[in-house]
Amino acid sequence: MTDLKGALSQAVSSVFEGLGLDASLGRVGVSDRPDLADFQCNGALAAAKAARRNPREIAAEVIAALNADPKASELFSSVEVAGAGFVNLRLSDAALTQRATEIVADPRLGAALNETPRRIIIDYGGPNVAKPMHVGHLRSSIIGEAIKRIYRFCGDTVWGDAHFGDWGFQMGLLILAAGDEDPRLRAIGEGAADADLSALADLDLPLLDRLYPMAAAKAKEDTDYRDRARKATAELQAGKEGYLTLWHRFVEVSRVALRREFDAMGVHFDLWNGESDADPFIPDMVTDLRAQGLLVEDQGAQIVRVAREGDKRELPPLLVISSEGSAMYGTTDLATIVGRRRDQDPHLMLYCVDQRQADHFAQVFRAAELAGYAPEGGLEHIGFGTMNGADGKPFKTRAGGVLKLHDLIEMARDKARARLKEAGLGAELSPEAFEETAHKVAIAALKFADLQNYRGTSYVFDLDRFTSFEGKTGPYLLYQAVRVKSLLRKAADEGSVGGAVMIVEPAERDLVLTLDAFNTAVAEAYDKKAPNFIAEHAYRLAQAFSKFYAACPVLVAKDAATKASRLTLSATALRQLEMALDLLGIETPERM
Ligand code: ARG
pLDDT of residue 400: 78
The closest residue, in CA terms, to atom 8 on ligand 1 is 126
User: How many angstroms separate the CA atoms of 478 and 476, rounded?
Assistant: 5
Pocket of ligand 1 (CB under 6 A): 123, 126, 128, 163, 165, 333, 351, 353
User: How many angstroms separate the CA atoms of 239 and 236, rounded?
Assistant: 5
User: How many angstroms separate the CA atoms of 113 and 151, rounded?
Assistant: 10
Nearest ligand 1 atom, CA 127: 1
Q: Are 483 and 475 in contact (CB under 8 A)?
A: no
Average pLDDT, whole number, for the chain? 96
Tell which one of 124, 135, 137 to mutate to probe ligand 1, the residue whose CB is within 8 A of the most ligand atoms. Answer: 137
Q: 460 C-alpha to center of ligand 1: Å?
A: 23
DSSP H or E segment with residue 137? helix 135-153
The predicted model scores a pTM of 0.96
User: How many angstroms separate the CA atoms of 519 and 105, rounded?
Assistant: 15
Per residue in 246-267, is it b (16+ CB within 10 Å) or e — as a string? bbebbbebbbebbbebbeebbb
Nearest ligand 1 atom, CA 354: 12
pLDDT of residue 136: 87
Q: 295 C-alpha to center of ligand 1: Å?
A: 23
Nearest ligand 1 atom, CA 128: 1
Q: Are 467 and 441 in contact (CB under 8 A)?
A: yes
Task: Return the bridge partners of 160, or none.
Answer: 122
Choose the weakest-confidence range: 116-120, 226-230, 310-314, 358-362.
Answer: 310-314
The closest residue, in CA terms, to atom 7 on ligand 1 is 126
The closest residue, in CA terms, to atom 11 on ligand 1 is 333
Q: 360 C-alpha to center of ligand 1: Å?
A: 10
CA angle centred on 104, ends 100 and 107, rounded to 5°: 135
Q: Average pLDDT for residues 105-124, to the nearest whole number? A: 97
Residue 219: closest CA among 167, 193, 247, 180:
180
Q: How far from 113 is each of 28, 154, 477, CA to CA, in Å?
A: 21, 5, 26
User: How many angstroms separate the CA atoms of 92 and 136, rounded?
Assistant: 48
Could you tell me the end-to-end alpha-carbon distance of the chain, in angstroms, rounded to an integer? 36
Q: Name residue 74's amino acid.
A: E
Tell which one of 121, 122, 128 to mutate to probe ligand 1, the residue whose CB is within 8 A of the most ligand atoms. Answer: 128
The closest residue, in CA terms, to atom 6 on ligand 1 is 126
Count of CB atoms within 10 A of residue 204's CB? Answer: 12
User: How many angstroms separate the CA atoms of 330 and 320, rounded?
Assistant: 7
Count of CB atoms within 10 A of residue 17's CB? Answer: 14
Q: What's the pLDDT band for 131 if we cut at 50, 70, 90? A: confident
CA angle centred on 158, ends 152 and 164, rounded to 5°: 130
pLDDT of residue 523: 97
Q: What's the pLDDT band for 439 if we cut at 50, 70, 90? A: very high
pLDDT of residue 403: 85
Q: 391 C-alpha to center of ligand 1: Å?
A: 26
User: How many angstroms separate the CA atoms of 562 and 554, rounded?
Assistant: 8
Nearest ligand 1 atom, CA 131: 4
Q: Average pLDDT for residues 149-156, to the nearest whole number? A: 98
Q: 89 C-alpha to center of ligand 1: Å?
A: 49
Q: What's the pLDDT band for 1 if we cut at 50, 70, 90? A: low
One-character DSSP codes across 291-357: HTT-EEEETTEEEE----TT-SSPPPPEEEE-TTS-B-HHHHHHHHHHHHHHHT--SEEEEE--GGG
Q: 514 C-alpha to center of ligand 1: Å?
A: 38
Tell which one of 135, 355, 357 to mutate to probe ligand 1, the residue whose CB is within 8 A of the most ligand atoms. Answer: 357
Q: What is the 3-state secondary structure (H, E, C) of 417-450?
A: HHHHHHCCCCCCCCHHHHHHHHHHHHHHHHHHHH
The secondary structure of residue 274, as a DSSP letter, is: B
The closest residue, in CA terms, to atom 2 on ligand 1 is 126
Q: 349 C-alpha to center of ligand 1: Å?
A: 14
pLDDT of residue 211: 96
Q: 363 C-alpha to center of ligand 1: Å?
A: 14
| Inter-helix orientation angle 506-516/518-528, to 10° | 30
Nearest ligand 1 atom, CA 336: 10
Tell which one of 129, 170, 277, 353 to mutate to probe ligand 1, the residue whose CB is within 8 A of the most ligand atoms. Answer: 353
User: How many angstroms separate the CA atoms of 435 and 240, rounded?
Assistant: 47
Nearest ligand 1 atom, CA 361: 11
Residue 126: closest CA among 317, 351, 277:
351
Q: Is the pLDDT of residue 208 over 80?
A: yes
Q: What is the pLDDT of residues 393-427, one digit of tens each?
A: 888 887 778 888 889 999 999 999 999 999 999 99
Which residues, at least 6 apart from 8, have a Cβ–Cβ distance to it below 8 Å? 28, 39, 41, 75, 76, 89, 91
Q: What's the pLDDT band for 375 if we cut at 50, 70, 90? A: confident
Length of the chain: 592
User: How many angstroms separate the CA atoms of 558 and 423, rounded?
Assistant: 32
Q: 99 C-alpha to center of ligand 1: Å?
A: 44
User: How many angstroms separate the CA atoms of 448 and 438, rounded?
Assistant: 15
Q: Are 274 and 166 in contact (CB under 8 A)?
A: yes
Count of CB atoms within 10 A of residue 314's CB? Answer: 9
One-character DSSP codes across 226-273: HHHHHHHHHHHHTT-HHHHHHHHHHHHHHHHHHHHHHHHTT---SB--
The closest residue, in CA terms, to atom 5 on ligand 1 is 126
Q: What is the pLDDT of residues 18-44, one digit of tens each?
A: 999 999 999 999 999 989 999 999 999
Q: Average pLDDT for residues 83-88, to the nearest whole number? A: 96
Residue 112: closest CA among 40, 5, 11:
5
Q: What is the pLDDT of residues 271-317, one digit of tens each?
A: 999 999 999 999 999 999 999 999 999 999 999 999 999 999 999 99
Q: Are 276 and 167 in contact (CB under 8 A)?
A: yes
Q: Name residue 379's amino acid.
A: L
